[in-house]
Amino acid sequence: MRDVKSIVAVTRSINHCAGRLTIAAPFVRVSLMNLFRRVALTAMVLFAAGDASAATTCTLVIDAATNATLIRVGDRCDERLTPASTFKIPLGLIGFDSGILIDADRPAWPYKQEYQTWNDAWKQTTTPQTWLRDSVVWYSQALTRTLGAARFQEYIDKLAYANRDLSGEPGRNDGLTTAWLSSSLRISATEQVEFVRRIIRRQLPVSRAAIDRTMALMPVAVTGGWRVSGKTGTGFVRRANGTNDPDRQVGWFVGWATRERRTVVFARLLEDERPERVNAGLRARDALLGDWAALMTPP
């Protein structure tokens, strides 16, 4: 991202200078170091998240082993928004645990004209692996239809996922196939990382095989020596009257990263303030990956 390296360099310089302060009380020196680093880190994350078009954002990173918060920047981390395609993470667990999904290649479901997808790349036979890789919406909907409304709600309750609301839009009876698509199901960045941490810790009431298979199929990137696994999601900002604003996207990148024996869990959220051509979830992913090495460099 623009000037991130410069901001990181300033951060390190501030840390170095703060460490050399000759203040009699050690706790004062430590407090100043922490303050300087937090100010510089906040500036870096907010700047890297984008320009004024994505002014409201959250970057949250926690330690998977200890649950310690490593980075928390932004004032919207506890606000619930649509999970959009990050919902494929719990949906993968549900699919494998229920037996509807079998492995990376099965079931291979053919595209049907009735799905009426807007994305030509999705108009082909899709497997669990390509479903997660290409974020194919109709495959998610075919999975939930196969599951059925009652079992779907049972799983969401059992997983204690988000606000658990699968009702969909009022009066439309469409929750089975659209609750997670800028509709009734809502989740915060704080809840996202808590849920993913429970996956990593094998603390969810689904089979170990379901967890292992879902994790193995999650898209992966490598940066700064870290293996980063995660799912993007793009939806729309909800207006005060309950309708969606098509000119303002919500973008997620949620997952975990591993380096040697250490694993951290992350969520990057951005909310656009004006129309943008590029998918917000992809922008959230690319921004976080671009920031990752700097974010995870100790002071």
User: Which of 279, 270, 255, 232 has the alpha carbon at shortest distance from 134?
Assistant: 232
Query: DSSP of 52-78, one letter per residue?
Result: GGG-EEEEEEEETTT--EEEEESS-TT
Query: DSSP of 237-278, one letter per residue?
Result: EEPTTS-EEEEEEEEEEEEEEEETTEEEEEEEEEE-SS--SS
Q: Which residues fall within 8 angstroms of residue 67, CB to CB, at 6 or more apart?
A: 197
Read off the tokens for 118.
């807007």
- For residue 220, the SS3 value is strand
- C-alpha to C-alpha distance for 183 and 181, rounded to whole angstroms: 5
Amino acid making up residue 56: T
Q: SS3 sequence, 130-195?
A: HHHHHCCHHHHHHHHHHHCHHHHHHHHHHHCCCCCCCCCCCCCCCHHHHCCCCCCCCECHHHHHHH
Report, as residue numbers or ranges, the catalytic residues: 85
- C-alpha to C-alpha distance for 181 and 221, rounded to whole angstroms: 25
User: Which of 219, 168, 159 has the alpha carbon at shortest distance from 194?
Assistant: 159
